[in-house]
Amino acid sequence: MISPEAASVSLPLLRGVLQGQIEEIKESSEPYRVMCSDYRIGNTREVNSQTEEAIYVTYLKGTMLKHNSCGDPGTRKIGQELLRADQDPSIIGHIIIADSGGGNANSVPELTDAITQLTKPIVAWVDGMAASACIYAISYTDKIIAHQPMDRIGCIGTMIELSGYSQFYKSKDGYIKARIYADSSTEKNADYEAALEGNAQIIKENLLNPLSEQFINDMKANRPSVTDDQLTGKTYFAKDVVGTLIDSIGTFDDAVNAVITLHDAANPNKQTMEQNNLYPNLTAIPTLTGLVCDEDGSAHLQECQLTDIEAALAAGANATELQTTIDNLNQQVSERDATIAQRDARITELENSLQAALARQDEEQPAEVEVTKDPAGVKNDDYKPAQTYEEALAACQEFLANN
């Protein structure tokens, strides 16, 4: 029970194995993690840590199949691993390294369904070719970056390659080969049998055209800038489709930075905090707070901001001397405050004593008795006793002010 097209796709590989042309099937490249902190500070060292903030990197290469085959993971496994990585709190985004000429049509939904379920940004980095089913799948990512201007992009469309004997075949030496169908199976493989006889219209209408129409419609939805002439099956150099089928040409580091930029744009508060941690002295200047870094991590300052930085640097050159002066002034202020506090306490004490003395005086002699004689021991001829509380208080305050 195998469809003719699936058998024909597998036949070249099977023939190579049987004829000894393929002796060993090597395992594919394994997914790995790239540490974001290294890129945020300008380094490019890759570290395999499971706790620090990182980007999950996986591969889409070779012939795309739904299931694992010949050492390469199928698109179902790639999608499952992407979703699993997306649940990791330390993962902030994903990169697919793509180098594939496409594959089976049924391999595409397995990967695109996973991509659309991701909660974190994903960037495709084309390292050679992204054709047919490959460009179809990665069109669902947030951004597509090609490595080289001459990378191959496109081949949007569907095809099928069939091979085999006609339904009833007889060789020159009389060998007969026949495929016989049950009476109720009148439509079984009808398009295949017709194609072998030279009639390809049935298989176009029943298989290729519907798949191609969906392919084109999805590409238009995912890449709105794509042009109609780019949807007819031609394969282009990457440099000729920037802005339509791909977003830019750049290195793997550019792909990493693109993921970080997308993540930071979706998490502005966290981005500002990380920038402030990177540049604590700069962000201490009010006009630079939140403006030190662009989304791509680079710094661009206006003239007024540079003036503020220059002023801050000039002030910092004399920081020690200025701090000493400030400390001395603060000490003088503290001493003055202590003297004032002592004086105020003394005034309060004298006021309380005066009030107590006046109260006793009022009790010992009537208010109308006039004192006409100076107290003993006072030698000032101008001395006159206070007649009221207010006069006594004023005299005390004058005494304290002069002494």
At residue 95, the 3 state secondary structure works out as: strand
d(CA 58, CA 125): 10
Tokens linked to 179:
């495929």
d(CA 4, CA 185): 16
For 26-155+234-260, which CATH class? alpha beta
d(CA 93, CA 91): 6
The pLDDT confidence band at residue 283, using thresholds 50, 70 and 90, is low
Bridging pattern class, strands 143-146 and 122-131: parallel
Sign (positive/negative) of CA torsion 181, 184, 186, 188? negative
Q: Which residues contact 376 (CB under 8 A, 6 or more apart)?
A: none
Bridging pattern class, strands 32-35 and 54-61: antiparallel
Bridging pattern class, strands 176-178 and 168-170: antiparallel
Q: Where are the domains of the chain?
A: 26-155+234-260, 267-317, 324-402
pTM recorded for the entire structure: 0.61
- The dihedrals phi and psi of 258, each to the nearest 5 degrees, come to -65, -40
Query: What pLDDT, in 10s, does the model give residues 351-389?
Result: 888 888 777 766 665 555 454 444 444 455 556 677 777
Query: What pLDDT, in 10s, does the model give residues 252-272?
Result: 999 999 999 999 888 876 555
Which uninterrupted H or E stretch holds 152?
Answer: strand 152-154
**Mean pLDDT for the stretch of residues 130-143:** 95
